């Protein structure tokens, strides 16, 4: 499945659950030749349907929808209750009750999947596990291309065996949730960096790969394509765009020097997710149980209250490791800038300094395009109009 039938440029906007991936953002990316995504996580099936309709009204180009797979009910209720007691001070501070950890069920996954089979989109991606072959086949039968987020070579092999068309390879640098297929607390610090993970996945499977994790500049897109990716997925880079639905405090925090670094934490959701380190993470992260989505529901009201109070120290400020390099500009302009930077990196792969070290013939060593990675030039939508497909990808 050539990704060129979906995008003119190898730029994918990550599906970011929680409100950032608005139809306006996805449309702007699609119009500029990238692939925009809607985030289906934490939304009802009806809300996903409305966003799909809104996006179709904004662009004729292919787009994607991301779904969260249901999680096995393995959380310890006693551990969740104990964490709730630990958060009592936060509830009092923000004058808001803790949420019901048992609400939400399967995030209406099956209802959303049924919707997307009945009303197909060009691409559907999955996070937090691997769909069954029956699920993937049902989407393929209506013309939808499927993608699965993977974080290890073993997960990549399993996704290929299940029938996925594309893999989103997520490195440890990525902001937001780690899309591991199994949430194992013993592996919290074992995530592979993107450039270490990509070649291993490339050798393990024979599928198109979309690389995700800390990418915010065109030169990084060139790097992951040289390492085996067919395109790059960016989330944090699009957060400051005016089309993004991210909270203004979240956007500001990305380049605020008082937020010195990112770390993965379970504090807000019960699943490892990378964000800017703030007071809530420092005070509660060490005590948060492995309990997703129970902890997500437990802290939902606290996060909303913190945002309403203008308190970034109580918000989930998801961000990848490249957050310092983000640029605030319209999403379409950002796609075009990324493509310019990508082409510059391909033309001068050793950086500006290498241009001053020309050989006797006047040529700069190493100016050929790395490997076989060349710009995707297919016209957007050329082969995806029958059933076009963050969100996240994270």
| Res 215: pLDDT | 98
Q: What is the pLDDT of residues 170-229, one digit of tens each?
A: 999 999 999 999 999 988 888 999 999 999 999 999 999 999 999 999 999 999 999 999
CA dihedral over 56, 331, 281, 185, signed as positive or negative: positive
Q: Are strands 166-170 and 145-150 parallel, antiparallel or unpaired?
A: parallel
**Which helix (H) or strand (E) is 11 found in, with range?**
strand 11-13
Torsion angles phi and psi, residue 75, rounded to 5: -70, 145
Assess whether pLDDT exceeds 80 at residue 32. Answer: yes
Residue 297 has, within 13 A of its CA and on its CB side, a CA count of: 16
Note the pLDDT tens digit of each residue in 320-355.
999 999 999 999 999 999 999 999 999 987 765 544
User: Does residue 302 carry a pLDDT above 90?
Assistant: yes
In angstroms, rounded to a whole number, what is the distance separating the alpha carbons of residues 187 and 228?
25
**Structure tokens that stand for 21 in this block:** 């991936």
The pLDDT of 296-320, averaged and rounded, is 98
Q: What confidence category does residue 366 fall into, taking pLDDT thresholds of 50, 70 and 90?
A: very low
Give the separation between CA 156 and CA 278, rounded to whole angstroms.
33
Give dist(CA 221, CA 338) in Å, integer.
Answer: 8
pLDDT tens digits along 87-139: 999 999 999 999 999 887 789 999 999 999 999 999 999 999 999 999 999 99
Cβ contacts of residue 53 below 8 Å, gap of 6+?
Answer: none
- Is 357 exposed, middle or buried, given 0-12, 13-18 or 19+ CB atoms closer than 10 A? exposed
In degrees and rounded to multiples of 5, residue 112 shows phi and psi of: -70, -40
State pTM to two decimals.
0.88
| 1 band by pLDDT with thresholds 50, 70 and 90 | low
Q: What is the separation of C-alpha 72 from the centre of its chain, rounded to a whole number of angstroms?
A: 22
**Alpha helix positions (H), the chain:** 23-31, 45-58, 77-86, 88-93, 109-118, 133-141, 153-162, 194-204, 218-226, 248-253, 279-284, 294-308, 331-347, 352-355
Q: In what order do the strands lie in the sheet with 63-68?
A: 11-13, 231-234, 209-212, 166-170, 145-150, 123-127, 63-68, 36-39
Q: How far apart are CA 149 and CA 180, in angstroms?
A: 8
Q: Which CATH class is domain 3-70+105-259+317-354?
A: alpha beta
Measured CA to CA, the distance from residue 170 to residue 177 in angstroms comes to 10
């Amino acid at each position: 499945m050539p990704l060129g039938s979906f995008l003119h440029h190898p730029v994918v906007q990550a599906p970011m659950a929680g409100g950032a991936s608005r139809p306006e953002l996805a449309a702007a990316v699609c119009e500029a030749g990238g692939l925009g995504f809607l985030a289906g996580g934490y939304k009802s099936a009806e809300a996903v349907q409305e966003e799909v309709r809104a996006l179709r009204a904004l662009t004729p180009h292919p787009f994607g929808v991301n779904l969260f797979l249901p999680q096995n009910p393995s959380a310890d209720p006693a551990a969740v209750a104990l964490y709730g007691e630990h958060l009592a001070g936060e509830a009092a501070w923000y004058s808001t009750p803790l949420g019901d950890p048992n609400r939400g069920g399967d995030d209406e996954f099956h209802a959303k999947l049924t919707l997307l089979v009945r009303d197909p989109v060009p691409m559907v991606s999955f996070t937090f596990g691997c769909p069954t072959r029956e699920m993937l086949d049902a989407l393929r039968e209506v013309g939808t291309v499927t993608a699965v987020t993977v974080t290890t070579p073993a997960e990549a092999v399993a996704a290929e065996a299940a029938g996925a068309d594309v893999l989103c390879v997520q490195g440890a640098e990525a902001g937001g949730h780690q899309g591991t297929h199994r949430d194992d607390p013993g592996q919290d610090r074992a995530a592979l960096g993107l450039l270490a993970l990509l070649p291993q996945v490339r050798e393990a499977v024979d599928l198109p790969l979309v690389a995700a994790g800390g990418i915010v500049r065109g030169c990084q897109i060139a790097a992951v394509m040289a390492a085996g990716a067919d395109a790059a997925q960016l989330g944090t880079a699009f957060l400051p765009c005016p089309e993004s639905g991210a909270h203004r405090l979240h956007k500001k925090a990305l380049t605020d020097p008082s937020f010195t670094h990112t770390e993965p934490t379970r504090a807000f959701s019960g699943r490892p997710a990378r964000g800017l380190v703030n007071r809530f993470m420092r005070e509660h992260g060490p005590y948060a149980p492995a309990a997703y989505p129970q902890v997500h529901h437990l802290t939902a009201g606290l996060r909303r209250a913190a945002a309403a109070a203008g308190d970034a120290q109580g918000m989930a400020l998801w961000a990848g490791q490249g957050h310092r390099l983000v640029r605030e500009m319209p999403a379409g302009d950002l796609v075009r800038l990324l493509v310019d930077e990508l082409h510059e990196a391909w033309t001068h792969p050793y950086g500006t300094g290498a241009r001053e070290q020309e050989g006797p013939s006047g040529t700069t060593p190493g100016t050929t395009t790395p490997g076989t990675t060349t710009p995707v030039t297919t016209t957007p939508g050329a082969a995806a109009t029958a059933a076009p497909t963050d969100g996240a990808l994270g």
